[in-house]
Amino acid sequence: MEEFMKNNIAVIGLSVMGKNLALNIADKGYKVSVFNRTTSVMEEMIKNFPHQNIQGKKTLKELVESLEKPRKIIIMVKAGGAVDSVINQLLEFVKKDDIIIDGGNSFFKDSERRYKTLKEKNINFFGVGISGGEEGARKGPAIMPGGDKEAYNEIKKILEDISAKVNGNPCINYTSTGGAGHYVKMVHNGIEYGDMEIIAESYYILKNIGGFTNQQISDIFAKFNKGKLKSYLIDITSKILKVKDPDADGYLIDKILDKSGQKGTGKWTTIQGADLGSCISVISSALNARYMSSIKDTRILAEKEFKKNEYQKFADREKLITMVENSLYTAKIISYAQGFSLLRQAEKEYSWTFNYADIAKIFRGGCIIQAKFLQNIIEAYQNNPKLENLVFDTFFKEEIKKNIDSLRELTLLAIKNELPIMTFTSALSYFDTLKTARLSANMIQAQRDYFGAHTFNRIDKQGVFHYDWLKNN
Protein backbone atom coordinates (compact mmCIF):
# COMPACT_ATOMS: atom_id res chain seq x y z
CA MET A 1 0.00 0.00 0.00
CA GLU A 2 1.29 3.49 -0.86
CA GLU A 3 2.48 5.34 2.27
CA PHE A 4 0.05 8.28 1.69
CA MET A 5 -2.92 5.89 1.71
CA LYS A 6 -2.01 4.46 5.05
CA ASN A 7 -3.68 5.16 8.38
CA ASN A 8 -2.21 7.55 10.94
CA ILE A 9 -2.63 5.56 14.14
CA ALA A 10 -3.99 2.31 15.55
CA VAL A 11 -6.00 1.44 18.65
CA ILE A 12 -5.82 -2.06 20.12
CA GLY A 13 -8.53 -3.01 22.64
CA LEU A 14 -12.04 -1.82 21.84
CA SER A 15 -13.79 -2.02 25.17
CA VAL A 16 -15.23 1.18 26.72
CA MET A 17 -12.01 3.23 26.63
CA GLY A 18 -10.44 2.05 23.38
CA LYS A 19 -13.64 2.34 21.36
CA ASN A 20 -14.33 5.89 22.53
CA LEU A 21 -10.72 6.98 22.13
CA ALA A 22 -10.67 5.63 18.55
CA LEU A 23 -13.88 7.54 17.74
CA ASN A 24 -12.42 10.70 19.31
CA ILE A 25 -9.23 10.39 17.22
CA ALA A 26 -11.24 9.71 14.05
CA ASP A 27 -13.43 12.77 14.71
CA LYS A 28 -10.30 14.90 14.70
CA GLY A 29 -9.58 13.87 11.12
CA TYR A 30 -7.04 11.10 11.70
CA LYS A 31 -7.36 7.76 9.97
CA VAL A 32 -7.51 5.01 12.58
CA SER A 33 -7.00 1.24 12.33
CA VAL A 34 -8.69 -0.69 15.12
CA PHE A 35 -8.17 -4.21 16.45
CA ASN A 36 -9.58 -6.30 19.27
CA ARG A 37 -8.43 -9.74 20.46
CA THR A 38 -11.98 -11.01 20.08
CA THR A 39 -12.73 -10.05 16.47
CA SER A 40 -16.51 -9.88 16.95
CA VAL A 41 -16.00 -6.92 19.34
CA MET A 42 -14.22 -5.03 16.52
CA GLU A 43 -16.93 -5.99 14.03
CA GLU A 44 -19.66 -4.84 16.42
CA MET A 45 -17.92 -1.49 16.81
CA ILE A 46 -17.60 -1.01 13.03
CA LYS A 47 -21.27 -1.95 12.62
CA ASN A 48 -22.66 0.15 15.47
CA PHE A 49 -20.34 3.17 15.20
CA PRO A 50 -19.46 3.43 11.51
CA HIS A 51 -16.94 6.21 10.88
CA GLN A 52 -15.30 7.11 7.57
CA ASN A 53 -11.90 7.43 9.32
CA ILE A 54 -12.00 4.05 11.07
CA GLN A 55 -10.98 0.70 9.57
CA GLY A 56 -11.28 -2.59 11.43
CA LYS A 57 -8.41 -5.07 11.20
CA LYS A 58 -8.65 -8.77 12.04
CA THR A 59 -4.98 -9.46 12.71
CA LEU A 60 -2.15 -7.53 14.33
CA LYS A 61 -0.08 -8.02 11.16
CA GLU A 62 -2.78 -6.35 9.05
CA LEU A 63 -3.11 -3.63 11.66
CA VAL A 64 0.59 -2.78 11.74
CA GLU A 65 0.94 -2.93 7.95
CA SER A 66 -1.94 -0.49 7.54
CA LEU A 67 -0.02 2.30 9.33
CA GLU A 68 2.25 5.08 8.08
CA LYS A 69 5.78 5.17 9.55
CA PRO A 70 6.76 5.60 12.28
CA ARG A 71 3.79 3.51 13.32
CA LYS A 72 1.81 4.77 16.27
CA ILE A 73 -0.14 2.15 18.15
CA ILE A 74 -2.27 2.82 21.22
CA ILE A 75 -2.94 -0.16 23.49
CA MET A 76 -6.15 0.15 25.53
CA VAL A 77 -6.46 -3.28 27.13
CA LYS A 78 -6.77 -4.41 30.72
CA ALA A 79 -3.75 -3.30 32.74
CA GLY A 80 -1.18 -5.98 33.66
CA GLY A 81 -0.23 -9.11 31.73
CA ALA A 82 -2.55 -8.29 28.81
CA VAL A 83 -0.39 -5.25 27.95
CA ASP A 84 2.79 -7.37 27.92
CA SER A 85 1.05 -9.99 25.82
CA VAL A 86 -0.03 -7.42 23.20
CA ILE A 87 3.44 -5.82 23.15
CA ASN A 88 5.11 -9.21 22.68
CA GLN A 89 2.84 -10.00 19.76
CA LEU A 90 3.45 -6.58 18.21
CA LEU A 91 7.22 -7.03 18.36
CA GLU A 92 6.98 -9.45 15.46
CA PHE A 93 5.68 -6.67 13.19
CA VAL A 94 6.90 -3.29 14.44
CA LYS A 95 10.20 -1.80 13.28
CA LYS A 96 12.84 0.64 14.54
CA ASP A 97 11.42 4.01 15.70
CA ASP A 98 7.80 2.80 15.79
CA ILE A 99 5.83 4.01 18.79
CA ILE A 100 3.83 1.83 21.16
CA ILE A 101 1.57 3.74 23.54
CA ASP A 102 -0.05 2.15 26.58
CA GLY A 103 -3.05 4.33 27.44
CA GLY A 104 -4.43 2.07 30.19
CA ASN A 105 -4.15 2.38 33.94
CA SER A 106 -0.82 0.57 34.17
CA PHE A 107 1.37 0.54 37.25
CA PHE A 108 4.25 2.95 36.65
CA LYS A 109 6.93 0.33 37.38
CA ASP A 110 5.53 -1.84 34.57
CA SER A 111 5.73 1.17 32.25
CA GLU A 112 9.28 1.87 33.38
CA ARG A 113 10.21 -1.75 32.59
CA ARG A 114 8.46 -1.74 29.20
CA TYR A 115 10.11 1.57 28.28
CA LYS A 116 13.57 0.19 29.02
CA THR A 117 13.00 -3.18 27.33
CA LEU A 118 11.59 -1.62 24.18
CA LYS A 119 14.30 1.07 24.06
CA GLU A 120 16.86 -1.73 23.75
CA LYS A 121 14.95 -2.86 20.65
CA ASN A 122 14.81 0.71 19.25
CA ILE A 123 11.06 0.85 19.75
CA ASN A 124 9.63 3.90 21.49
CA PHE A 125 7.33 3.15 24.36
CA PHE A 126 5.00 5.67 25.97
CA GLY A 127 3.16 5.05 29.21
CA VAL A 128 0.27 7.48 28.98
CA GLY A 129 -2.09 8.21 31.85
CA ILE A 130 -5.55 8.97 30.47
CA SER A 131 -8.12 10.39 32.83
CA GLY A 132 -11.79 11.08 32.35
CA GLY A 133 -13.38 7.65 31.89
CA GLU A 134 -15.68 6.86 28.99
CA GLU A 135 -16.86 10.43 28.42
CA GLY A 136 -13.33 11.79 28.60
CA ALA A 137 -12.08 9.24 26.09
CA ARG A 138 -14.87 10.21 23.68
CA LYS A 139 -14.91 13.98 24.13
CA GLY A 140 -11.50 14.90 25.51
CA PRO A 141 -9.51 13.42 28.41
CA ALA A 142 -6.66 14.79 30.49
CA ILE A 143 -3.53 13.10 29.14
CA MET A 144 -0.24 12.42 30.96
CA PRO A 145 2.39 11.05 28.55
CA GLY A 146 5.71 9.61 29.69
CA GLY A 147 8.43 8.43 27.32
CA ASP A 148 11.22 9.63 25.10
CA LYS A 149 11.14 13.43 24.67
CA GLU A 150 12.17 13.40 21.00
CA ALA A 151 9.71 10.69 20.01
CA TYR A 152 7.00 12.68 21.79
CA ASN A 153 7.02 15.16 18.88
CA GLU A 154 5.67 12.36 16.66
CA ILE A 155 2.54 11.89 18.79
CA LYS A 156 2.17 15.35 20.37
CA LYS A 157 -0.25 16.79 17.82
CA ILE A 158 -2.63 13.82 17.77
CA LEU A 159 -2.73 13.62 21.57
CA GLU A 160 -3.23 17.39 21.90
CA ASP A 161 -6.04 17.29 19.35
CA ILE A 162 -7.96 14.59 21.23
CA SER A 163 -7.39 16.01 24.73
CA ALA A 164 -9.75 18.19 26.77
CA LYS A 165 -9.29 21.94 26.27
CA VAL A 166 -9.43 24.74 28.81
CA ASN A 167 -9.66 28.20 27.22
CA GLY A 168 -8.33 26.57 24.05
CA ASN A 169 -5.31 25.05 25.85
CA PRO A 170 -4.97 21.26 25.61
CA CYS A 171 -4.98 19.35 28.90
CA ILE A 172 -1.84 17.43 28.10
CA ASN A 173 1.84 17.98 28.72
CA TYR A 174 4.86 15.77 28.38
CA THR A 175 5.81 14.57 31.86
CA SER A 176 9.17 12.76 31.72
CA THR A 177 10.65 9.42 30.66
CA GLY A 178 9.48 5.83 31.21
CA GLY A 179 6.79 5.42 33.83
CA ALA A 180 6.48 9.15 34.62
CA GLY A 181 3.13 9.57 32.86
CA HIS A 182 1.54 6.70 34.75
CA TYR A 183 3.12 7.96 37.97
CA VAL A 184 1.51 11.38 37.52
CA LYS A 185 -1.81 9.66 36.76
CA MET A 186 -1.43 7.57 39.93
CA VAL A 187 -0.80 10.67 42.07
CA HIS A 188 -3.72 12.39 40.33
CA ASN A 189 -5.93 9.49 41.39
CA GLY A 190 -4.62 9.67 44.96
CA ILE A 191 -5.37 13.39 45.07
CA GLU A 192 -8.84 12.57 43.78
CA TYR A 193 -9.33 10.22 46.77
CA GLY A 194 -8.39 13.06 49.14
CA ASP A 195 -10.66 15.61 47.44
CA MET A 196 -13.62 13.23 47.51
CA GLU A 197 -13.19 12.35 51.18
CA ILE A 198 -12.83 15.95 52.42
CA ILE A 199 -16.00 16.80 50.51
CA ALA A 200 -17.78 13.76 52.00
CA GLU A 201 -16.68 14.81 55.51
CA SER A 202 -17.92 18.37 54.86
CA TYR A 203 -21.30 17.05 53.74
CA TYR A 204 -21.47 14.91 56.88
CA ILE A 205 -20.68 17.87 59.17
CA LEU A 206 -23.25 20.11 57.46
CA LYS A 207 -25.86 17.36 57.76
CA ASN A 208 -25.22 16.27 61.33
CA ILE A 209 -23.82 19.30 63.13
CA GLY A 210 -25.42 21.93 60.91
CA GLY A 211 -28.74 20.12 60.73
CA PHE A 212 -29.15 21.18 57.09
CA THR A 213 -31.42 19.30 54.69
CA ASN A 214 -30.08 17.71 51.52
CA GLN A 215 -31.54 20.55 49.45
CA GLN A 216 -29.88 23.13 51.72
CA ILE A 217 -26.52 21.34 51.55
CA SER A 218 -26.91 21.18 47.77
CA ASP A 219 -27.42 24.96 47.74
CA ILE A 220 -24.39 25.44 50.03
CA PHE A 221 -22.17 23.43 47.68
CA ALA A 222 -23.62 25.32 44.69
CA LYS A 223 -22.53 28.53 46.45
CA PHE A 224 -19.08 27.06 47.21
CA ASN A 225 -18.85 26.31 43.51
CA LYS A 226 -19.03 30.01 42.71
CA GLY A 227 -15.96 30.80 44.81
CA LYS A 228 -12.47 29.56 45.59
CA LEU A 229 -13.64 25.91 45.67
CA LYS A 230 -15.07 25.94 42.14
CA SER A 231 -14.44 22.47 40.78
CA TYR A 232 -16.00 19.47 39.09
CA LEU A 233 -16.31 17.50 42.36
CA ILE A 234 -18.01 20.34 44.27
CA ASP A 235 -20.39 20.80 41.34
CA ILE A 236 -21.41 17.13 41.16
CA THR A 237 -21.78 17.01 44.96
CA SER A 238 -24.32 19.81 44.76
CA LYS A 239 -26.14 18.00 41.95
CA ILE A 240 -26.10 14.61 43.73
CA LEU A 241 -27.71 16.09 46.85
CA LYS A 242 -30.73 17.34 44.90
CA VAL A 243 -31.71 14.00 43.42
CA LYS A 244 -34.94 12.45 44.74
CA ASP A 245 -35.18 8.69 45.13
CA PRO A 246 -36.83 7.43 41.90
CA ASP A 247 -38.26 4.38 43.72
CA ALA A 248 -39.48 5.78 47.03
CA ASP A 249 -39.93 8.93 49.11
CA GLY A 250 -36.93 11.02 50.09
CA TYR A 251 -33.56 11.66 48.55
CA LEU A 252 -31.42 9.10 46.73
CA ILE A 253 -28.27 10.01 48.71
CA ASP A 254 -29.94 8.85 51.94
CA LYS A 255 -30.66 5.41 50.45
CA ILE A 256 -27.13 4.68 49.25
CA LEU A 257 -25.22 2.17 51.39
CA ASP A 258 -22.26 3.81 53.17
CA LYS A 259 -19.62 1.34 51.93
CA SER A 260 -17.23 2.77 49.39
CA GLY A 261 -15.30 0.81 46.82
CA GLN A 262 -11.87 1.37 45.30
CA LYS A 263 -9.97 0.07 42.31
CA GLY A 264 -6.45 0.28 43.70
CA THR A 265 -4.86 3.49 42.44
CA GLY A 266 -5.27 5.25 45.82
CA LYS A 267 -3.57 2.24 47.35
CA TRP A 268 -0.68 2.47 44.87
CA THR A 269 -0.21 6.14 45.77
CA THR A 270 -0.24 5.36 49.48
CA ILE A 271 2.31 2.58 49.02
CA GLN A 272 4.49 4.95 47.00
CA GLY A 273 4.30 7.53 49.78
CA ALA A 274 5.60 4.87 52.18
CA ASP A 275 8.23 3.60 49.73
CA LEU A 276 9.65 7.08 49.20
CA GLY A 277 9.23 8.22 52.81
CA SER A 278 6.89 11.02 51.75
CA CYS A 279 3.95 11.89 54.02
CA ILE A 280 0.74 11.90 51.98
CA SER A 281 -1.51 11.51 55.00
CA VAL A 282 -4.59 13.11 53.43
CA ILE A 283 -4.53 10.61 50.57
CA SER A 284 -3.79 7.64 52.84
CA SER A 285 -6.49 8.74 55.31
CA ALA A 286 -8.95 8.96 52.44
CA LEU A 287 -7.98 5.40 51.49
CA ASN A 288 -8.32 4.26 55.12
CA ALA A 289 -11.70 5.98 55.34
CA ARG A 290 -12.82 3.80 52.41
CA TYR A 291 -11.49 0.68 54.15
CA MET A 292 -13.30 1.68 57.37
CA SER A 293 -16.49 2.29 55.42
CA SER A 294 -16.32 -1.24 54.05
CA ILE A 295 -16.40 -2.89 57.51
CA LYS A 296 -20.02 -1.92 58.01
CA ASP A 297 -20.93 -4.90 60.25
CA THR A 298 -18.05 -4.16 62.61
CA ARG A 299 -19.06 -0.50 62.75
CA ILE A 300 -22.64 -1.43 63.58
CA LEU A 301 -21.37 -3.64 66.42
CA ALA A 302 -18.97 -0.97 67.73
CA GLU A 303 -21.67 1.72 67.67
CA LYS A 304 -23.84 -0.55 69.85
CA GLU A 305 -20.97 -1.46 72.22
CA PHE A 306 -19.63 2.05 72.73
CA LYS A 307 -22.88 4.01 72.36
CA LYS A 308 -22.68 6.97 70.06
CA ASN A 309 -23.84 10.29 71.47
CA GLU A 310 -26.30 12.42 69.53
CA TYR A 311 -24.58 15.05 67.42
CA GLN A 312 -24.97 18.49 69.02
CA LYS A 313 -26.26 21.09 66.60
CA PHE A 314 -24.07 24.16 66.10
CA ALA A 315 -26.17 27.26 66.72
CA ASP A 316 -24.48 29.67 64.32
CA ARG A 317 -25.28 27.97 61.03
CA GLU A 318 -23.86 30.72 58.83
CA LYS A 319 -20.58 30.52 60.70
CA LEU A 320 -20.55 26.76 60.26
CA ILE A 321 -20.94 27.14 56.48
CA THR A 322 -17.99 29.56 56.39
CA MET A 323 -15.91 27.23 58.56
CA VAL A 324 -16.65 24.30 56.27
CA GLU A 325 -15.79 26.29 53.14
CA ASN A 326 -12.50 27.52 54.61
CA SER A 327 -11.64 24.09 56.00
CA LEU A 328 -12.31 22.36 52.71
CA TYR A 329 -10.09 24.89 50.99
CA THR A 330 -7.25 24.63 53.52
CA ALA A 331 -7.32 20.82 53.61
CA LYS A 332 -7.29 20.84 49.81
CA ILE A 333 -4.19 23.06 49.73
CA ILE A 334 -2.48 20.74 52.21
CA SER A 335 -3.51 17.63 50.27
CA TYR A 336 -2.10 19.03 47.01
CA ALA A 337 1.04 20.15 48.85
CA GLN A 338 1.50 16.50 49.88
CA GLY A 339 0.75 15.15 46.40
CA PHE A 340 3.21 17.51 44.72
CA SER A 341 5.83 16.78 47.41
CA LEU A 342 5.48 13.10 46.53
CA LEU A 343 6.07 13.99 42.86
CA ARG A 344 9.20 15.93 43.87
CA GLN A 345 10.47 12.93 45.79
CA ALA A 346 9.72 10.61 42.86
CA GLU A 347 11.53 12.96 40.47
CA LYS A 348 14.72 12.39 42.48
CA GLU A 349 14.14 8.70 43.10
CA TYR A 350 13.43 7.73 39.49
CA SER A 351 15.67 10.33 37.78
CA TRP A 352 12.80 12.13 36.07
CA THR A 353 12.54 15.81 35.25
CA PHE A 354 9.18 17.33 36.08
CA ASN A 355 7.71 20.69 35.26
CA TYR A 356 5.14 21.06 38.04
CA ALA A 357 3.30 23.98 36.44
CA ASP A 358 2.86 21.85 33.30
CA ILE A 359 1.59 18.94 35.40
CA ALA A 360 -0.99 21.17 37.14
CA LYS A 361 -2.07 22.45 33.71
CA ILE A 362 -2.97 18.89 32.62
CA PHE A 363 -5.44 18.58 35.50
CA ARG A 364 -7.43 21.71 34.57
CA GLY A 365 -9.87 19.85 32.32
CA GLY A 366 -11.10 16.42 31.26
CA CYS A 367 -10.51 14.84 34.67
CA ILE A 368 -12.17 14.47 38.04
CA ILE A 369 -9.90 16.89 39.93
CA GLN A 370 -10.35 19.82 37.55
CA ALA A 371 -10.67 22.96 39.67
CA LYS A 372 -10.21 26.73 39.58
CA PHE A 373 -7.62 26.37 42.31
CA LEU A 374 -5.20 24.59 39.93
CA GLN A 375 -4.49 28.00 38.36
CA ASN A 376 -2.95 29.08 41.69
CA ILE A 377 -0.77 25.94 41.70
CA ILE A 378 0.35 26.69 38.15
CA GLU A 379 1.31 30.23 39.16
CA ALA A 380 3.09 29.00 42.29
CA TYR A 381 5.37 26.74 40.24
CA GLN A 382 5.78 29.32 37.48
CA ASN A 383 7.03 31.75 40.15
CA ASN A 384 9.34 29.13 41.62
CA PRO A 385 9.78 25.87 39.65
CA LYS A 386 11.81 24.38 42.54
CA LEU A 387 9.30 25.27 45.27
CA GLU A 388 10.06 23.02 48.25
CA ASN A 389 6.44 22.72 49.33
CA LEU A 390 3.30 24.47 48.07
CA VAL A 391 2.67 25.98 51.52
CA PHE A 392 5.70 28.26 51.00
CA ASP A 393 4.25 29.90 47.90
CA THR A 394 3.28 33.51 48.73
CA PHE A 395 -0.35 33.09 47.68
CA PHE A 396 -0.89 29.77 49.44
CA LYS A 397 0.97 30.91 52.56
CA GLU A 398 -1.47 33.81 52.94
CA GLU A 399 -4.48 31.60 52.19
CA ILE A 400 -3.42 29.08 54.83
CA LYS A 401 -2.85 31.83 57.39
CA LYS A 402 -6.32 33.23 56.67
CA ASN A 403 -8.12 29.88 56.81
CA ILE A 404 -6.27 27.55 59.16
CA ASP A 405 -8.24 28.69 62.24
CA SER A 406 -11.44 27.52 60.55
CA LEU A 407 -9.93 24.08 59.97
CA ARG A 408 -8.77 23.92 63.60
CA GLU A 409 -12.15 25.03 64.98
CA LEU A 410 -14.10 22.69 62.71
CA THR A 411 -11.85 19.76 63.58
CA LEU A 412 -12.34 20.42 67.31
CA LEU A 413 -16.07 20.68 66.84
CA ALA A 414 -16.22 17.37 64.97
CA ILE A 415 -13.96 15.61 67.49
CA LYS A 416 -16.09 16.83 70.41
CA ASN A 417 -19.11 15.46 68.58
CA GLU A 418 -17.41 12.10 67.94
CA LEU A 419 -17.96 12.74 64.24
CA PRO A 420 -15.43 10.94 62.03
CA ILE A 421 -13.22 13.23 59.97
CA MET A 422 -10.15 11.20 59.07
CA THR A 423 -8.87 13.50 56.32
CA PHE A 424 -9.53 16.84 58.00
CA THR A 425 -7.57 15.76 61.08
CA SER A 426 -4.77 14.38 58.90
CA ALA A 427 -4.48 17.65 56.99
CA LEU A 428 -4.33 19.66 60.20
CA SER A 429 -1.81 17.34 61.85
CA TYR A 430 0.43 17.44 58.78
CA PHE A 431 0.42 21.23 58.83
CA ASP A 432 1.07 21.42 62.59
CA THR A 433 3.92 18.93 62.21
CA LEU A 434 5.38 20.76 59.23
CA LYS A 435 5.52 24.05 61.10
CA THR A 436 7.11 22.60 64.22
CA ALA A 437 10.87 23.09 64.06
CA ARG A 438 11.52 20.83 67.06
CA LEU A 439 9.43 17.68 67.18
CA SER A 440 9.15 14.85 69.67
CA ALA A 441 11.38 12.59 67.55
CA ASN A 442 14.22 13.00 70.08
CA MET A 443 12.20 10.59 72.26
CA ILE A 444 11.87 8.12 69.37
CA GLN A 445 15.62 8.24 68.87
CA ALA A 446 16.25 7.70 72.58
CA GLN A 447 13.90 4.71 72.63
CA ARG A 448 15.52 3.21 69.53
CA ASP A 449 18.93 3.64 71.10
CA TYR A 450 17.68 2.14 74.43
CA PHE A 451 16.30 -1.11 73.00
CA GLY A 452 18.33 -1.49 69.83
CA ALA A 453 21.50 0.60 70.17
CA HIS A 454 20.43 2.39 66.99
CA THR A 455 22.46 5.50 68.03
CA PHE A 456 21.43 9.15 67.81
CA ASN A 457 22.77 12.53 66.79
CA ARG A 458 23.00 15.43 69.24
CA ILE A 459 21.96 19.03 68.79
CA ASP A 460 25.06 20.42 70.48
CA LYS A 461 27.89 18.45 68.88
CA GLN A 462 28.74 16.53 65.71
CA GLY A 463 28.94 12.74 65.62
CA VAL A 464 26.99 9.56 66.21
CA PHE A 465 26.28 8.65 69.84
CA HIS A 466 25.14 5.68 71.85
CA TYR A 467 24.28 5.74 75.55
CA ASP A 468 24.27 2.67 77.77
CA TRP A 469 20.73 3.27 79.04
CA LEU A 470 20.43 -0.14 80.84
CA LYS A 471 23.66 0.13 82.73
CA ASN A 472 22.83 3.58 83.97
CA ASN A 473 19.22 2.91 84.97
Active site (catalytic) residues: 185, 192
Binding track over 3-32 against ligand NBP, x by CB under 6 A: ----------xxxxxx--------------
- Nearer to ligand NBP by Cβ, of 134 and 347: the residue is 134
The closest of 185, 88, 83, 168 to 128, measured between CA atoms, is 185
Contact between 265 and ligand NBP by CB under 6 A: the answer reads no
Binding track over 116-135 against ligand NBP, x by CB under 6 A: --------------x--xx-
The strand pair at 72-75 and 32-35 is best described as unpaired
Contact between 279 and ligand NBP by CB under 6 A: the answer reads no
CA pair distance 310, 411, nearest whole angstrom: 17
> Which residue of the chain is nearest ligand NBP when measured via CB?
104
Contact between 37 and ligand NBP by CB under 6 A: the answer reads yes
E strands, 332-395, are none
Determine the size of the site formed for ligand NBP (CB under 6 A).
Answer: 22
The closest of 286, 73, 269 to 185, measured between CA atoms, is 269
Contact between 91 and ligand NBP by CB under 6 A: the answer reads no
Residues 331 and 417: beta-carbon distance below 8 Å: no
- Nearer to ligand NBP by Cβ, of 37 and 448: the residue is 37
How does DSSP assign 403-416, residue by residue?
HHHHHHHHHHHHHH
- Residue 39: how many CB atoms within 10 A of its CB? 13
DSSP structural state of residue 371: B
CB of 124 to ligand NBP, least distance (A): 20
Q: Which range binds ligand NBP by CB under 6 A, 75-83, 246-254, 352-360, 459-467?
A: 75-83
CB of 82 to ligand NBP, least distance (A): 3
Question: Could you write out the three-class secondary structure of 9-33?
Answer: EEEECCCHHHHHHHHHHHHCCCCEE
- Nearer to ligand NBP by Cβ, of 21 and 180: the residue is 21
Q: What is the largest CA-CA distance in the chain?
A: 88
CB of 18 to ligand NBP, least distance (A): 5
CB of 308 to ligand NBP, least distance (A): 37
- Nearer to ligand NBP by Cβ, of 105 and 403: the residue is 105
The closest of 129, 147, 103 to 183, measured between CA atoms, is 129
CA pair distance 159, 154, nearest whole angstrom: 10
Contact between 41 and ligand NBP by CB under 6 A: the answer reads yes
Binding site for ligand NBP (CB under 6 A): 13-18, 36-38, 41, 76-79, 82, 85-86, 104-105, 130, 133-134
